[in-house]
């Protein structure tokens, strides 16, 4: 007998991660668009001023979700990313934020990709590169202001 396709744990935690991130965006008063065809971005974040008027530019978000966070110590998480994605992200003029959702702890960590690679000067000639998330960078409503500052700095 042929079995039907299954909804896996991976499918479930990916959906939870999207919902988790979108919650903080909309509670901040910003808006978000889901990218239907994922070629390197999952969400596009739009910001608004105090009068509710849309601001120029956007912030690109790539989400990853896991049950298996790999801590290198009590302050750092290691995560491998494809250099195919990195090439896209590093050539993007607007901020690209990589978000790692820890499904077991129900929290997310973020990494501003362009700033990270500017600081660390990593050669991306391998198929995968390990990046390190600072566990202090947890996603919350206030984080959205930080992302907005990154965008504003670029537009200046």
**Residue at 119 is within a domain:** yes
Its domain, for residue 62, covers 9-155
**Residue at 27 is within a domain:** yes
Q: Which segments of the chain does DSSP mark as H helices, in order?
A: 9-27, 83-91, 113-120, 141-155
**pLDDT at residue 124 is higher than 90:** no
**Tell me, what DSSP letter sits at residue 135?**
T
Is residue 97 within 8 Å of residue 60, measured between CB atoms? yes
Pairing of strands 96-102, 59-66: parallel
pLDDT at 121: 83
pLDDT at 122: 84
**Residue at 1 is within a domain:** no
pLDDT in tens, 15-74: 999 999 999 999 999 999 999 887 899 999 999 999 999 999 999 999 999 999 999 999
pLDDT at 101: 98
**Residue at 107 is within a domain:** yes
Q: Calculate what percentage of the chain has a pLDDT beyond 70.
A: 100
Tell me how many domains the chain contains.
Answer: 1
| 30 CB-side CA count, 13 A | 26
Question: Which of 78, 80, 95 minimizes the C-alpha distance to 41?
Answer: 95
CATH number at residue 61: 3.40.1350.10
Question: Which of 6, 11, 23 minimizes the C-alpha distance to 143?
Answer: 23
**Residue at 136 is within a domain:** yes
Give the residue-averaged pLDDT of 101-111. Answer: 98
**Residue at 117 is within a domain:** yes
Tokens of 125: 């000639």
**Residue at 22 is within a domain:** yes
**Residue at 4 is within a domain:** no
């Amino acid at each position: 007998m042929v079995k039907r396709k299954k909804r896996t744990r991976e499918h479930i935690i990916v959906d939870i991660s999207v919902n988790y991130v979108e919650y903080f965006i909309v509670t901040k008063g910003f808006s978000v668009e889901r990218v239907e065809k994922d070629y390197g971005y999952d969400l596009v974040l739009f910001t608004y001023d105090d009068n509710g008027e849309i601001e120029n530019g956007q912030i690109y978000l790539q989400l990853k979700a896991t049950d298996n966070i790999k801590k290198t110590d009590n302050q750092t998480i290691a995560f491998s990313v494809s250099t195919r994605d990195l090439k896209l992200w590093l050539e993007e003029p607007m901020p690209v934020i990589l978000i790692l959702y820890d499904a077991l702890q129900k929290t997310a960590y973020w990494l501003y990709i362009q700033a990270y690679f500017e600081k660390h000067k990593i050669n991306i000639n391998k198929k995968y590169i390990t990046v390190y998330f600072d566990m202090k960078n947890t996603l919350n409503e206030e984080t959205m202001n930080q992302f907005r500052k990154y965008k504003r700095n670029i537009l200046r």
